[in-house]
Structure 1
């Protein structure tokens, strides 16, 4: 085929991304995983805020053998859970938008990993709840990592 025939044959074809057709649209599976991660993050963030409020207003609810969790007081842990929970909640809600911001996925993974570490530290005070929260954090990370890179979306 000549160059002219190739141009006319490809004129009606859908442009390929490599030819500058614009950004790729995420597939249904990719957006489904992001939405799943966003919903779980909203739940985890809400639970984190509630957990922090409990630590602030009902410190006797969380008791371990030493009476303290690491080096922080229950008030310190309460504020840590409230702030981290609110951040996780806000970033989780941003993942539910129709146009997910580029920063949201990476920030979500970092925040949820940090939340899992905080829950691990909180384990002596409230073991069952901490394990449930760590499992939810791992599910969120799995959901957000499973979609791969945006450039690979078809």
Structure 2
């Protein structure tokens, strides 16, 4: 029979054994390490968006960042701009995926992409030394947040 035919209101229905009457289920308790992963994810999104902006700036105006010879290693700065653009977009996307459930693939991809980002910015130090060092420092913080929490569960749901 339906609730309409019996006249019973939902709050007065019988509860299964072992449950409390009207009390809501407790929220899952977050691990202390979950905050580090969320922090790392937010910083990843910020660094990724800045990488996209940096890449666009290098592509649109390749003479803005110029070394003495006009190149960074064997590639033009416009080519490095595309590298920054693509890598920044990937870092931002993976960082955004870490804001949700933080799946294992996203943590692994985040570690790989942020490590690659640090290497790319290490190579770009002759062109933009202060910015590259700031991004490398942020990449190290992100790596710390993702690596030290690898074995820790992020929430009580498993």
Aligned residues: 130
Root-mean-square deviation (Å): 2.0
Higher radius of gyration, 1 or 2: 2
Aligned pairs (5 A) from 1:2-41 = 27-41=30-44
Correspondence list, 1:50-129, <5 A: 50-97=53-100, 99-129=101-131
Asked if 2 retains the 8 angstrom alpha-carbon contact of 1:69 and 1:125, the reply is yes
Whether the aligned pair in 2 keeps the contact of 1:38 and 1:96 (CA below 8 Å) is: yes
Alignment partner of 1:79: what SS? helix
Unmatched tracts of structure 2, length 5 or more: 1-17, 19-27
Deviation at 1:75, TM superposition (A): 1.8
Q: Deviations over 1:21-56 (max 9, x none)?
A: xxxx88432210110010000011001000100100
Tell me the TM-score normalised to structure 2 length.
0.76
2:31 and 2:155 in contact (8 A); partners too = no
- Cα drift, residue 66 of structure 1: 1.8
- Structure 2 residue 149 is the aligned partner of structure 1 residue 147: yes
Name the residue aligned to 1:16.
none
Residues 26, 59 of structure 1: alpha-carbon distance in 2 compared, 3 angstrom cutoff: farther
Q: Is the 8 A contact 2:34 2:154 kept in 1?
A: no
**Structure with the largest fraction of helix:** 1
Structure 1 pair 136–152 and aligned structure 2 pair: CA distance change class (3 A): closer
